[in-house]
Amino acid sequence: MAKKNQNPFNFDLSATLARVISIVEEAGQIAKEIYESKDYRTVSKQDGSPFTIADEMANQIIQDGLSKLDPNFPIISEESPTAPFAERSTWQHFWLVDPIDGTKEFIKGTGDFTVNVALVYESQPIMGVVCAPIYNELFFAATGQGAYQKKDDLTLIEMKPMDSNHDQLRCFVSNSAKEVHLNKIRSEIPGVKITAMGSSRKICHLAKGRADFYLRKFPTSEWDTAAAHCILAEAGGQMIDLSGKVLKYNKEKLTNPNFIAFGDPYFDWENLLKLTKE
């Protein structure tokens, strides 16, 4: 990790990242064990979205671990009550957590779910850890230190996406994308190669160069993207709304606008929007 440390805090960013990786790996291991046991105990939350014992247990592990790191750092988690905006708007930094991103994929048995933890500073993620336990994938990044994938206990791979200067555009879509949506992409971008993938894995794999872009035109929450956003940005990519502004976090409503994620910093996103008639 030879990049200059742009740490705005009075603590060791690298040491904190190492501890967060351990917390996320522990939560991922618990989620994997529950997934493989098939004992999901699925219920529906008030908004109709599913919730399992894995969400609950992973959330508890992460909340406990982050609180021990620094009890003065607030935590926003999908699976815990959120402080009102009047209070949150005063926060300079906070943890943003999705204990299980892709609970529907978890329940379906695809294994395409992740554990996401981000540290946000002044509306931008400066640290991100994403674990996909069923695929034995761990991605992480911190501002100024690069983006990496941990392949085993010893090997780290620095992630640098390939440029998008080639004949065939490659697009990520969600596993839940409807055929009418896929057909629309195919008709508007002739020859496009479409790959379906669940959860924040799509953004992490953009950072590896497996696709050129991910265009999202239906709702996501801030905790779905923050950790992977940091990883993609440190690999050289970015996540922007459809006007070209970088996504921000800790808004009054914790939802993302429609966005484009891409790995190549010179990706022609404006032309993409013309192609997709946005």
- pLDDT tens for each residue of the chain, 278 residues long: 444 445 556 667 888 999 999 999 999 999 999 999 987 777 777 666 778 899 999 999 999 999 999 888 999 999 999 999 999 999 999 999 999 999 989 999 999 999 999 999 999 999 999 999 999 999 999 999 999 999 877 678 888 877 766 778 899 988 877 777 788 888 888 889 999 999 999 999 999 999 999 999 888 999 999 999 999 999 999 999 999 999 999 999 999 999 999 999 888 889 888 877 65
Reference 26, options 194, 166, 182, 138; nearest CA is 138
Give kind and range of the element (H or E) at residue 158: strand 156-158
* pTM across the whole model: 0.92
For residue 271, the model assigns a pLDDT of 86
Asked if the domains 13-158 and 170-275 are classified in one and the same CATH topology, the answer is no
- Record: fold of 13-158: Fructose-1,6-Bisphosphatase; Chain A, domain 1 (3.30.540)
- The CATH number fitting domain 170-275, selected from 2.60.40.10, 3.30.1490.100, 3.40.190.80, 2.40.40.20: 3.40.190.80
For residue 213, the model assigns a pLDDT of 93
For residue 1, the model assigns a pLDDT of 42
The one-letter amino acid at 101: D
As given in the structure block, the two tokens for residue 95 are: 């943890």
Neighbours of 226 (CB within 10 A): 30
Cα–Cα distance list, 276 to 181, 186, 266, 271 (Å): 11, 10, 19, 9
Helix, strand, or coil (residue 229):
helix
**Torsion-angle region of 102 (φ positive above 0: left; ψ -120 to 50: alpha; else: beta):** left
Distance between CA atoms of residues 133 and 126, nearest Å: 23
As given in the structure block, the two tokens for residue 8 are: 């705005």
As given in the structure block, the two tokens for residue 1 are: 């990790």
Domain limits, the chain: 13-158, 170-275
For residue 186, the model assigns a pLDDT of 86
